[in-house]
Amino acid sequence: MTDYPALQNLQLEDKDSLLDIKTAQDLDAQDTLSKFRQAFAIPTRKDVAGEKPNFEKESELDEPCTYLCGNSLGLMPKQTRTLVNQEFDAWSQRGVEGHWNHPFNRPWATVDEQVKDHLANLVGAKPVEVTAMNTLTSNLHSMMTTFFRPTGDRYKILIEAKAFPSDHYAVSSHLEARGIDPAKGMLTIAPRAGEYNLRTQDILDTIAGDPSIALVMLSGVQYYTGQFFDIPTITEFAQEKGCVVGWDLAHAVGNVPLKLHDWQVDFACWCSYKYLNSGAGGIAGLFIHEKYAKDTSRPRLAGWWGNDKENRFEMSPVFRPSEGASGYQQSNPNVLATISLMSSLQIYEQAGGIDTLRAKSIKLTGYLEALLHTTLEAHFKADRIRILTPSDPQRRGCQLSLEFPHGMIDVFDGLHAYGVICDERKPTVIRLAPVPLYNSFADVYRAVMCLRKVMDQVYPSSH
């Protein structure tokens, strides 16, 4: 049992108690965060299980689905509908006046301030260091414009070989825009042969070994494997070697605790529709360390919303940037998206913030891991399933990436028909992400029991 470090937190006696649904129910009963589940709209199994739902009883169709997909799109907080509707009220009742005179006291001229402090808390930053703006990939481009200053000797960007494709494309196209051949300018790093995750030491050795790296831009939590990188160690080391260090926190924000200010991270970008539950295409986030708050020496992609608030509406042709991250805003922010984000961030704060959520998350994912290993022991032994994600809870967030060397899509379809919503990444991976804000131990239990049934259907010879 103690093979899985996270399990020690659950204080379970033996394998039998792990396999008992009563354990899941007890863990849910002890969970002080369980009440937040009802703050979210959970789709029914009927609505998501596809055309061939697989249920024994008709009545099961109306039950909530088992949603383990918050890594891809977070569920909707129920209050979001009310809060966004208030913006429609403001618009219909006040028109342009809503910018200054807002019936719910959220004037649009400063709507971004509704999320600034929340975002700062979430990523361990000072308010001056963060802002909500644009979308993730466009913010990566914006930050590369400012922080990637290639010279003849230093002109490379280091990213993961299996970085999210958008990051790959962004880096590649950005290099091209600067007249640098991506084949020379993009340096990628992959796990060792036979391994799934990058070793911190290998990352450091790569950085030490190539003095032409100008920018290190890795992801905080790897989208494919779920590995949580050692951000402070890598940041400090790369900066010592003369690199600028930016992080893509798409899968880290709202998932793991971050201390971006203390870690001296130069910049970071994230989207908000995954763990931050802001809705598809929601407004993204940006962190720029305080050390650059008054730095106007670097080029930036400027826009009127980055101009000092005090004289933004003077419409002067001379750009006077706001201090800090806000000075990089380009357009007036999408109000519906910003309020939708605010709604979810309020719930994060009511739940006690990221450290409280993380404590539950470590238990929940540890429970998932242990239950998978015990329930599917024979399938693990036969190498029909593997876990790619690090087993050390400190080196991962809530997501576990399962690899199915053969038949992944059949397994995925089988889970789907049971109303277990997760996602697949071809060719072989299914990602399961139990989210501490709205997932229960009973969700995890059901997902694993469904997976066992599916595995026995997909690999009938195995039992």
Ligand X SMILES: *Cc1c(COP(=O)(O)O)cnc(C)c1O
Which of these segments, 18-26, 208-216, 247-255, 303-311, binds ligand X (CB under 6 A)?
Answer: 247-255
- Asked whether position 223 contacts ligand X by CB under 6 A, the answer is yes
- Which of 250/420 has CB closer to ligand X? 250
Minimum CB–partner distance for residue 282 and ligand X (Å): 8
Minimum CB–partner distance for residue 372 and ligand X (Å): 23
CA–CA separation, 57 vs 240, rounded Å?
A: 62
CA–CA separation, 434 vs 67, rounded Å?
A: 8
Strands across the sheet containing 423-425: 386-387, 400-403, 429-432, 423-425
- Asked whether position 399 contacts ligand X by CB under 6 A, the answer is no
- Asked whether position 332 contacts ligand X by CB under 6 A, the answer is no
Q: Report yes or no: 340 and 84 within 8 Å, Cβ to Cβ.
A: yes
167 is in an annotated binding site: yes
- Asked whether position 341 contacts ligand X by CB under 6 A, the answer is no
* CA distances to 319, 321, 327, 383 from 296, in Å: 11, 8, 10, 55
Q: Report yes or no: 77 and 279 within 8 Å, Cβ to Cβ.
A: no
- Asked whether position 54 contacts ligand X by CB under 6 A, the answer is no
Minimum CB–partner distance for residue 131 and ligand X (Å): 16
- Closest to 310 (Cα-Cα) out of 321, 296, 298, 325: 321
Which of these segments, 123-131, 132-140, 253-261, 347-355, binds ligand X (CB under 6 A)?
Answer: 132-140
91 is in an annotated binding site: no
- Which of 108/223 has CB closer to ligand X? 223
Residue 320: alpha-carbon gap to chain centroid: 33
- Asked whether position 251 contacts ligand X by CB under 6 A, the answer is yes
Tell me how many residues contact ligand X (CB under 6 A): 12
Which of these segments, 25-33, 52-60, 131-139, 372-380, binds ligand X (CB under 6 A)?
Answer: 131-139
165 is in an annotated binding site: yes
DSSP secondary structure letters along 15-44: HHHHH-HHHHHHHHHH-TTGGGGGGEE--B
- Which of 218/458 has CB closer to ligand X? 218
166 is in an annotated binding site: yes
DSSP secondary structure letters along 158-204: EEETT--HHHHHHHHHHHHHTT--HHHHEEEE-PPTT-SS--HHHHH
255 is in an annotated binding site: no
- Asked whether position 142 contacts ligand X by CB under 6 A, the answer is no
Q: Report yes or no: 139 and 284 within 8 Å, Cβ to Cβ.
A: yes
- Which of 49/136 has CB closer to ligand X? 136
142 is in an annotated binding site: no
Q: Which residue has the tokens 């049992």?
A: 1
440 is in an annotated binding site: no
Residue 106: alpha-carbon gap to chain centroid: 27
Site for ligand X in 143-182 (CB under 6 A): 164, 166-167
- Asked whether position 135 contacts ligand X by CB under 6 A, the answer is yes
- Asked whether position 136 contacts ligand X by CB under 6 A, the answer is yes
Minimum CB–partner distance for residue 135 and ligand X (Å): 4
Residue 453: alpha-carbon gap to chain centroid: 30
Minimum CB–partner distance for residue 84 and ligand X (Å): 20
Q: What is the largest CA-CA distance in the chain?
A: 75
- Give me 396's structure tokens: 């991962």
Q: Report yes or no: 419 and 65 within 8 Å, Cβ to Cβ.
A: yes
- Which of 166/264 has CB closer to ligand X? 166
- Asked whether position 137 contacts ligand X by CB under 6 A, the answer is yes
| Side chain identity, residue 8 | Q
Q: Report yes or no: 437 and 351 within 8 Å, Cβ to Cβ.
A: yes
Kindly tell me which residue out of 250, 283, 370, 435 binds ligand X, with binding defined by CB under 6 A: 250
Site for ligand X in 253-292 (CB under 6 A): 271
Please, which residues have CB within 8 angstroms of residue 134's CB and are 6 or more apart in sequence?
142, 283, 284, 286, 330, 331
Which of these segments, 48-56, 133-141, 236-244, 435-443, binds ligand X (CB under 6 A)?
Answer: 133-141
- Asked whether position 131 contacts ligand X by CB under 6 A, the answer is no
Minimum CB–partner distance for residue 276 and ligand X (Å): 11
- Which of 190/208 has CB closer to ligand X? 190
- Closest to 32 (Cα-Cα) out of 396, 446, 440, 444: 440
Which of these segments, 12-20, 91-99, 243-251, 425-433, binds ligand X (CB under 6 A)?
Answer: 243-251
Chain residues in the site for ligand X (CB under 6 A): 135-137, 164, 166-167, 219, 223, 248, 250-251, 271
Annotated binding site for pyridoxal 5'-phosphate: 136-137, 164-167, 219, 248, 251, 273, 304, 332
